[in-house]
Amino acid sequence: MNSEENSKDETCRAQPLPQEQPPVSTGAQDSAAQEVGAYKAGSQEAGPQGSGSREPGRPQDSGSREPDPRESGEPGAGTRTGRQRLAAAVWPPRVTRAQLIVAVLLFVLGLGLAIQVRSNSDESALRGARQEDLVRILDEVDNRTQRLEDEKQRLEDQRTELENSSDQAEEARRQTQQKEQQLGILAGTVAAEGPGITLTIQDPARTVESDMLLDTIQELRAAGAEAIQVNGVRVVASTFFSGSAGDIEVDRKRISAPYTFKVIGEPQDLEPALNIPGGVVQTLEKEQATATVERSEKIVVDALRPAERPDYARSSPQ
């Protein structure tokens, strides 16, 4: 007994005393309690939705996170170039109703401007002319209209004379002779005289081409010329010009400068027709040639052409 009690006393004395743990501060205990409470509250909210537990302080996934192109597995998804991103932003186009209305209005405005510019360009030739040139052109148009009215009145008078003449056969013969004279003047088979102009073209540099002389003939005819003669060659409906500068031919007859045009017609119409802006005179001046126009009350056109019988055309009774 004594030996057992002694051994127990020695065992008790041999066990080391427990170390005292440092006391936890009150602030740390409060922070730990708040963290545990927040963790439990989060676990209770996530439980009914079937989401697993999350760590305290970690934000919960909302489920709407956009997929990362690098996680999609598509080739080159994470290395798109700037051009590819621009193309993806532009196409397919996203056009709103307001943008469509603006586009239509701009198209209509552009169409209107184009039509306006075109109409202005068509009138630019006359708008650029001087006032005296415009007055001259208007006078020429009025004179042509008056000539047509006079011709109409003359034909009506002839018809009236034929209808009312007691000797219709004699009247018809007289008018036939007059018509023959008129046609002979146009065909160049008879000489003619009357008021008109003389146009002289000097060409010291030998730059006047045959087409310029042809344009002069056409301009004179448009102004009412009834008979024309160029350097002794009668100009008729079949007249043609050929050759080059310094070697020009009229109906296969060679002519040389100065070129002299004798023209029978109304001088007040013929001269302005040659002096209009961009007309014959200005065109010749650009080629270093000079053109002078002289009016006269008596111009004689005496160059004749032989009467040629047509091969196929015949007169008609109607």
pLDDT of residue 2: 47
DSSP string, 233-255: EEE-TT--EEEETTEEEETTEEE
pLDDT of residue 40: 55
Give per-residue pLDDT as tens, 139-198.
888 888 888 899 899 888 888 877 776 667 777 788 888 888 888 888 889 999 999 999
Asked if pLDDT for residue 301 goes beyond 90, the answer is yes
Give per-residue pLDDT as tens, 73-116.
444 445 678 777 777 776 766 768 888 888 889 999 888 888 87
> Where do the domains of the chain lie, and which CATH numbers do they carry?
150-301 (3.30.70.1880)
DSSP SS3 for 292: strand
Highest mean pLDDT among 63-77, 130-144, 227-241, 299-313: 227-241
Amino acid at 180: E
Which has more confidence, 164 or 67?
A: 164
If you ran DSSP here, which 8-state letter would residue 3 be given?
H
Asked if pLDDT for residue 61 goes beyond 60, the answer is no
The two beta strands, 290-301 and 227-230, are unpaired
| Average model confidence (pLDDT) across the chain | 76
- 27-41, 55-69, 298-312: range with lowest mean pLDDT: 55-69
pLDDT of residue 51: 42
DSSP string, 146-158: HHHHHHHHHHHHH
Q: How confident is the model at residue 62 (pLDDT cuts 50, 70, 90)?
A: very low
Asked if pLDDT for residue 202 goes beyond 80, the answer is yes
DSSP SS3 for 300: strand
Which has more confidence, 313 or 166?
A: 313
Asked if pLDDT for residue 233 goes beyond 90, the answer is yes
Residues 60-79 have a mean pLDDT of 50
Express as a percent the part of the chain with pLDDT over 90.
29
pLDDT of residue 172: 78
